[in-house]
Amino acid sequence: MKFGIYSSIANPPRGEDLPRCVDEVIEEARLAEQAGFDSCFFGEHHQDRDGFLPSPLIICTAVAAATTTLRVGTSVILLPLHHPVRLAEDVITLDIISKGRVTVGVGLGYQDADFRAFGVKMSDRVELFEEKVQILRSCWSGEEFSFHGKHHQIENLRVRPDPVQKPHPPIWIGAGAPVSARRAGTIGDA
């Protein structure tokens, strides 16, 4: 059995110092590694009044740099809001920095504010999500590929460098309903 921790880095309106909170989360990850924990995960939300950090891959990079064995991951990246090639490259960079310790948790998202901020129609989130999972896998394949979907058109792309993990960093899919659990079982790695 493996054990991990999840940290939201939320900064409730109690006068807390957000940079200090980030330092504490990094120290918490170091202590978790020393105590034998296997992983540490961070989520993504936007415009939350509690200070929830919007860029989990950046905090994962800081934790990866401060640890040696702890897996770092996202729980979850709001995939419909991200360009899949940019995200694939960012994950590759983190995979290199962490020496193969990254797990990519992705989800559909559910908060209207997140979608409004990026000009993405919430009604398109399932189609966007499914296309982007396919594109991530293709970006990490080490091969040139083209993709022709409803929302993305990609021609003759070969993403470099390759990820450290083979065949690629694991993609975990968040699910909170039977239909999303089926989707996770079909297109996710865990």
Residue 110: alpha-carbon gap to chain centroid: 16
Residue 60 — φ and ψ, nearest 5°?
Answer: -60, -40
Q: For residue 152, what pLDDT is reported?
A: 98
- For the chain, percent of residues with pLDDT exceeding 70: 94
Percent above pLDDT 90 for the chain: 83
Q: Does domain 4-187 have CATH number 3.40.50.2020?
A: no
For the entire predicted model, the pTM comes to 0.94
The confidence score (pLDDT) of residue 51 equals 58
Q: Is 47 exposed, middle or buried (0-12, 13-18, 19+ CB in 10 A)?
A: exposed
> Where are the strands (E) in 126-170, listed by range?
145-148, 153-157
The end-to-end CA distance of the chain, in Å, is 15
Q: Looking at residue 144, what is its pLDDT?
A: 98
131/124 Cα distance (integer angstroms) = 11
At 9, the pLDDT band (50, 70, 90 cuts) reads confident
Q: Which pLDDT belongs to residue 190?
A: 75
Written as six digits, the tokens of 79 are: 């995939």
Q: What is the pLDDT of residues 148-184, one digit of tens each?
A: 999 999 999 999 999 999 999 999 999 999 999 999 9
Chain segment 25-81, per-residue pLDDT in tens = 999 999 999 999 999 999 998 877 665 778 999 999 999 999 999 999 999 999 999
- Supply the pLDDT for residue 56: 94
pLDDT at 12 exceeding the cut of 90 = no
Mean pLDDT of the chain: 93
- Domains of the chain, by residue range, sit at 4-187
Report CA dihedral (86, 91, 93, 94) to the nearest 10 degrees: 150
